Amino acid sequence: MEQRADILVRFGRRVASLRKSQRLTQEILASLSGLDRSYVSGIERGQRNVSLKNIQALAQALDTTLDKLFEGV
């Protein structure tokens, strides 16, 4: 179970890093991806186990590929 939590935290940090590098707020990323801001916050804190559809929505909102979204995760 620890490994699962670890990947959630690493993925969340990656999302936050990409978001911040584009100078987007969580609210803007949420709007662009069609997700709720509190859900995006939970992802970035590693508290959400994100579905594939939502991962794709985040990648599109961040104008990146799935490969790059998972870089370093």
Average pLDDT over residues 12-38: 98
What pLDDT, on a 0 to 100 scale, did the predictor assign at position 5? 72
Q: Are 71 and 50 in contact (CB under 8 A)?
A: no
Cβ-in-10-Å burial (0-12, 13-18, 19+) of 3 comes to: exposed
DSSP letter (8 states) at residue 25: -
pLDDT digits (tens, 9 = 90+) for 32-62: 999 999 999 999 999 999 999 999 999 999 9
Please enumerate in sequence order all residues whose Cβ is within 8 A of that of 26, keeping only pairs 6 or more positions apart, or say none: 19, 37, 40, 41, 44
pTM: 0.92
Question: CA triplet 28, 33, 36: central angle to 5 degrees?
Answer: 70
Which domains, and CATH codes, for the chain? 2-61 (1.10.260.40)
